[in-house]
Amino acid sequence: MSKSKVITIGIIILLLIILFDQVTKMILINQNITIIPNFLSFNYTQNTGVAFNIGTNNIITIIIINVIIIGLIIKFIKDNDLNIGALISLFIVLAGGISNLIDRLFRGFVIDFIDVNIFNFPNFNIADICIVLGIVFLIFIIIKSTINKEK
């Protein structure tokens, strides 16, 4: 498959993830819903920081760093000959970053709502899941590629 087709697919995935994340956040504003008692709830929270509330209340700095990282990912996608898996993984990370940036720009905070009651883990959202999964997939692809090159 050509790089342009993969990029087109990546952009579609990116837009669908952003749409899904933003819609779920709008639906769950000010909601507290128990899904599985003592395990999983949707509890609306406002996160003014980044992962695990790091950098709380430094919104301008966080926005600048977010824009720089998004720009670097886009440049990396454009400038490198990556396999399909790596490209899609980067588009998934990009979607999560853009969706959380949308929250920061228009709300001044990120809406988190998924509350897993294990080890007092902080609330998170669909965009956060995408960022983590995209990075995990990318790491897996890099490890697999490295192992294949050594053979």
From 114, 75, 104, 95, select the one nearest 9 (Cα to Cα): 95
Residue 115 is predicted with a pLDDT of: 94
Residue 101 is predicted with a pLDDT of: 96
Residue 121 is predicted with a pLDDT of: 85
- Expressed as residue numbers, the domain containing 39 is 3-150
The answer to whether 103 is a known catalytic residue is no
Report the C-alpha gap between 106 and 125 in whole angstroms.
Answer: 17
Give per-residue burial for 50-68: e unless 16+ CB within 10 Å, then b.
beeeeeeeebeebeeebee
Q: Which residues of the chain have pLDDT under 70?
A: 51-57
Residue 53 is predicted with a pLDDT of: 58
Residue 141 is predicted with a pLDDT of: 94
Report the C-alpha gap between 41 and 47 in whole angstroms.
Answer: 17
Residue 42 is predicted with a pLDDT of: 96
Residue 92 is predicted with a pLDDT of: 97
What is the token pair recorded at 28?
Answer: 């769950």
The answer to whether 21 is a known catalytic residue is no
The answer, as to whether pTM is greater than 0.85, is: yes
Q: Domain count for the chain, please give it.
A: 1
Which of 21, 103, 115, 128 is an active site residue? Answer: 128
Which of 21, 103, 112, 115 is an active site residue? Answer: 112
Residue 55 is predicted with a pLDDT of: 63
